Amino acid sequence: MAIRPLNPNTFANSPLDRAGHVRHDEAALAALRSNDNARVAVLRDGRPLVAPRAPTDAAQIAWLKAGQTEKLAHSVEIFLGLDGDVPLFAREATHLMDPREGGPLAGLGEFHELRSLLPFLPAGDAAILAQARALLDWHARHGFCAKCGNASVVSQAGYRRDCPACKAEHFPRTDPVVIMVGTCGDEALLGRGAQWPQHRFSALAGFLEPGETIEEAVARELEEEAGVRAVSVRYLFSQPWPFPSNLMIACLAEVADKTLKVDSDELAEARWFKKSELPQVLNGTHPDKFLGPPPFAVAHQLIKAWCET
Amino acid sequence: MAIRPLNPNTFANSPLDRAGHVRHDEAALAALRSNDNARVAVLRDGRPLVAPRAPTDAAQIAWLKAGQTEKLAHSVEIFLGLDGDVPLFAREATHLMDPREGGPLAGLGEFHELRSLLPFLPAGDAAILAQARALLDWHARHGFCAKCGNASVVSQAGYRRDCPACKAEHFPRTDPVVIMVGTCGDEALLGRGAQWPQHRFSALAGFLEPGETIEEAVARELEEEAGVRAVSVRYLFSQPWPFPSNLMIACLAEVADKTLKVDSDELAEARWFKKSELPQVLNGTHPDKFLGPPPFAVAHQLIKAWCET
């Protein structure tokens, strides 16, 4: 049954039951792993193995069977959850040959950058890969205990790392990011990043800091980057963003005074857009060539949702 | 100017301008540090120095002047921000004597557990201490680079740790937690934790996982802990929770079927409460002795807000 309000964002709406109770039950986990239906998604430095890729652009996760993953026995393994009665896992394949050059994955698929695949993946596959990529990336960058410096080991089916030396337990991190469209009547504030092309604009955004509420972080970012003061903040929806592991928290923020004071370290430019012109910015038909964020970005859905209010 | 909707939660509504641009400007930071108005809050293993404590229960941060913090020169320092034109810092004082036993802090205040102080602190002090405690705790538990295992060093006025060996940059972590009241008509679902006293109930909660939206995490927790299925989720407000560094994301979740299937590993009990009886649960006057969460917990404010809808 779908949760309302329906989430329009890429990476949302995972089809999986994460079945978290299995993570600390080694016997249940082993049974799922050796289940004939079990399948394994493989990622290499964050890039998923997908098939078929050529000659058509359509892509889907290349789910491997147990016999196809023997060379991965010592790589990090994540239990993703259950898709109906199909147990799904993910594995890191950094040490394997590129399948285009041979090796155990030859003929099974191709590794591609996840972002570039998004227009071609089923929604469910994108959500599953968000989970897999965020977790595998966390392991890749957290091989050592931050508390004592010793090497840590994977536990809990990939959802924890334990330090054998100081016994510290480390959990995957997810960094909350606030992303907001400032509004004033029928105008919306968008910014152009310091290194972006001349006509590209999007919502402002930044990491939430320790000790802040979501709304305080939104107000701070608007003030820091554009010099405007939020008088009300409204949460709209969220998006998992696995580059590497953010939670995008999308808000609308009403601003009382439109006067801008742009921080040139953060933004090349900030600008108020009329509600009536934003659909053209989003679909790339604006007469002044303004371009918005792509549909897989939460900023696109946030601007679109505001236009429809 | 206050942000609407007003946030009723302890630790929200910080009075400070974080002045983040100063963090990467060593000269500006040094000028603020040596400013006559500058003040320093001191924490020892997460417990803030407050004054006066006895004979009255009222407490406030014991703000130290530069001359009083000489013994802290080598401890971790956080730039908290500006309170008007007053630059505020926080320092870790683990290595100093307890002021009750003498030493450089004698007569300046007492260290107390932050949670126990909450009923007695001004709201602004609580918000400042949430920021200080979360950041100092992060440093205390992240002295080593998780990527290579070498010792890392404080940078960016306390908002980053850098690894001199592998050059990795590490940022403070804030863990998003979803906390929710399941509702069905005029009834609300609360749970009793496995180790809690017999009549104590509160909202269900859990960490958001990589690859989840806020709403998916809410639905998962309700299903895992109480066996109920959310059909709609509505975000209400958030709270910084510095034990050690969570972002509490409070939601209401409408449930279609009230039938409970409680996970006994997580909960001793779950129970539906009538909207009409919850005010008594919150203020401790319920005839069946049910007790709710304390006012400083976001769960209290969440239940209260639902009762007022």
> Is the predicted pLDDT of residue A218 greater than 80, yes or no?
yes
What tens digit of pLDDT does each residue of A134-162 get? Answer: 999 999 999 999 999 999 999 999 999 99
What is the rounded CA–CA span in Å between residue B222 and residue B205?
8
Chain A residues 237-266 with a CB less than 8 Å from chain B: 237-240, 242, 245, 247, 249, 256, 263, 265
pLDDT at A2: 79
Sheet holding A169-170, edge to edge: A153-155, A160-162, A169-170
Percent of chain B with pLDDT over 90: 92
Could you tell me the pLDDT band of residue A57, with boundaries at 50, 70 and 90? Answer: confident
Could you tell me the pLDDT band of residue B288, with boundaries at 50, 70 and 90? Answer: very high
C-beta of residue B135 within 8 angstroms of C-beta of residue B158: yes
Could you tell me the pLDDT band of residue A60, with boundaries at 50, 70 and 90? Answer: very high
Q: Nearest CA to B134 among B122, B126, B145? A: B126
- For A30, A58, A245, B273, the CA distances from A81, given in Å and listed in that order, are 13, 25, 19, 33
Q: What six digits make up the tokens of B245?
A: 């560094």
pLDDT at B1: 62
Contact A216 B3 (CB under 8 A): yes
Residues from chain A that touch B20, judged by Cβ atoms under 8 A, are 220, 224
Could you tell me the pLDDT band of residue A220, with boundaries at 50, 70 and 90? Answer: very high
C-beta of residue B294 within 8 angstroms of C-beta of residue B300: yes
Residues from chain B that touch A209, judged by Cβ atoms under 8 A, are 18, 131, 159, 172, 174
Closest Cα of chain B to A288: distance in Å?
33
Question: Based on the number of CB atoms within 10 Å of its own CB, is B299 exposed (0-12), middle (13-18) or buried (19 or more)?
Answer: buried
User: Omega before A242 cis (within 30°)?
Assistant: no
What is the rounded CA–CA span in Å between residue A64 and residue A87?
12
User: Omega before B242 cis (within 30°)?
Assistant: no
What tens digit of pLDDT does each residue of B153-180 get? Answer: 999 999 999 999 999 999 999 999 999 9
User: Omega before A172 cis (within 30°)?
Assistant: no
Q: Nearest CA to B298 among B234, B244, B247, B230? A: B247
What tens digit of pLDDT does each residue of A292-301 get? Answer: 999 999 999 9
Contact A211 B247 (CB under 8 A): no
Residues from chain B that touch A14, judged by Cβ atoms under 8 A, are 211-212, 216
Mean pLDDT across chain B: 96
> Is the predicted pLDDT of residue B254 greater than 90, yes or no?
yes
**Phi, psi values for residue B177, rounded to 5°:** -120, 130
Closest Cα of chain A to B238: distance in Å?
6
| The model's pTM | 0.97
**Phi, psi values for residue A112, rounded to 5°:** -135, 150
What tens digit of pLDDT does each residue of B141-154 get? Answer: 999 999 999 999 99
**Phi, psi values for residue A30, rounded to 5°:** -65, -40
What is the rounded CA–CA span in Å between residue A32 and residue B204?
29
Of A7, A148, A256, the CB nearest to B213: A7
> Is the predicted pLDDT of residue B273 greater than 80, yes or no?
yes
Cα first-last separation, chain A: 26
- What's the DSSP call for residue B75? S
ipTM value greater than 0.90? yes
What is the rounded CA–CA span in Å between residue B178 and residue B188?
17
Contact of B127 with chain A, judged by CB distance below 8 Å, is answered with: yes
Contact A172 B230 (CB under 8 A): no
Contact B3 A233 (CB under 8 A): yes
> Is the predicted pLDDT of residue B30 greater than 90, yes or no?
yes
Closest Cα of chain B to A284: distance in Å?
28
